[in-house]
Chains A and B, each alone.
Chain A
């Protein structure tokens, strides 16, 4: 069999400006969602290790629901479902940010919980035995150490969430994949354009990996 396919370099290169227009949306939704998700993760992660059982249950329920359902279903629910309740449409970008926030928030809660629980018991005992209160011990002794341990898994989560935003092409957000689809609809150069889309995701995620590695190396130098 003879392969007649010719890679259309020109189409690939010409698609780039269209695709680049999607990147701000991809970044806005992922980092906007992650920022909110981090706040959610701190709150629910700490609730999930709170001594009060009802609070723990509440946090665990949230985590299980949003970790156990697909982010695509979550965003469809928010974008198409919630307007029925609210009586008005929800902006697609807002829906995307909310979906990332809630989904990443569930995973980040577990990251926060795991990091806090991984700090040696002796640290807490040392803080308390010096006369620090429970909350002083937490915020001055436990939390700064936990925060450093969160960096690698948070980086992981950021990469996952960035890629998850590609699903939001289905609700019409003009992010990277959606821009590609629109371009392909007129040029029929799917292979070239999706390859470019994939490369652009790689540029984003590799940059992030690089920054994280830089940060970790700096942290290692300070002895923790």
Chain B
């Protein structure tokens, strides 16, 4: 039996406001327990919510960013359930009339294609606090610092068929929200959390299977692994004639498996109803226009522009664009005179490798855009071979100065002097008569291969500084002269 995987994602995105969605408490991460929870956040008797304008603006930015319809009159509702990290016994959310309505988000896939994902809705709500289980013996500790942090919950249709698609969507979403400046999208700190709805259906059938929901998966890698393990679990059950129980599951990364959540055993009935402490949010055309005017260039437009303006491949553009800082670094290198294609190669190759090894972001790169542009210039004008350039790059990384200084200090200028090179070539030819004879006897294809031996010997003799292009020309000429 073959099964088709049907998945929809719900992403909880913490919005990067200074204060909470309904109170004036700070949203900063990492404070001691309960010092960033005021009377509103604690749900103290008589306290009332007052809506943060920035949370509304961020939600509208997101809606415009994915080309979704903005709810002109959106309404907050109470979602009722009991849990110790939910102070009021209800979460203020949006159920009936969300602020962002349907839209389509085009996700760039690795092969350069775009995967359209239907966004069902995105709504504003407040985050819950945290339960801490490892400090006390008999009890759990409740920290409500996070309670009231604004969240945008982004819900898709069940449009994903593979883990790869889901991860690509999450990466594209991460890129979009950081471009918009509405969230830091940090999955490790919980700024972006993902719930995955998974069901399987018989290939070719259009009847949806029973779904499970995997809650709070907190990295791209775990999303991929959680999906694989849950798909395997479900298909094993279905293959052996069993049926899937609709339930909430948790992904256990250590065991690489999903398991049923005990705390959700009591069937929930959220009893949504309009939040009487808040009034409808009305958003007019002028507001939307103003927000639209404030939007930066978004990843999709930037990819297109990089291809047309810098003649980059779709592949390079797709790699440079997602991280806003990387794209900016690239454009800075180019604006300082670095040629576009080599700039892309250096950034995506040596630079990003070195940054990864050093666990640095591009904003704190020891090699500045100016330095990289200088290096590329010296390659373009023939001063450096690509091999020597790597040594200069190393010098730039170590902070040994600008490109020209390093070339001088390390004596890395390539030998482009025809007389000096000719002498080297002559010496090597003279020292290896057997190889010369072999060369001359070979056919054209074989000659190409054999010439490598001489190039290697000459490079060695020049300590790597021979200009390879010039060397090749001289060598072929001189070898042919031997016949």
A and B physically associate: no
Question: Which residues of chain A have a CB within 8 Å of any CB of chain B?
Answer: none
